[in-house]
Amino acid sequence: MRAIRRLGKSPKERGDTTGVSGSPDILELEDGSFAVIGEDITDRVGRQPLFDAKCAPNERIVRVTRATLVSAKNDIPDN
């Protein structure tokens, strides 16, 4: 499995990085699915943040900045 492209602006272009640590990002994978790089907030929001949203043991809930998601909007396919 490998990433083939970034959706939206790079963290540097958004001002979301110091160049030393990781940065929020949205990546498209070669199989057409997506990967999100963000701050792990699973322990803070819990494994069931909404009554109909559950996080399985093999999943993590990550936070990405609003700027990250908004900048990716034009790169997200309609289907």
Phi and psi based region of residue 20 (left: phi greater than 0; alpha: psi -120 to 50; beta: remaining): alpha
Confidence band of 78 (pLDDT split at 50, 70, 90): confident
Read off the DSSP letter of residue 49. Answer: S
Query: How many Å from the N-terminal Cα to the C-terminal Cα in the chain?
Result: 21
pLDDT tens for 18-68 read: 666 778 999 999 999 999 999 999 999 999 999 999 999 999 999 998 999
Q: Is the pTM of this model over 0.75?
A: yes
Radius of gyration of the chain (CA): 14
Rounded-to-integer distance, Cα 65 and Cα 79, Å: 24
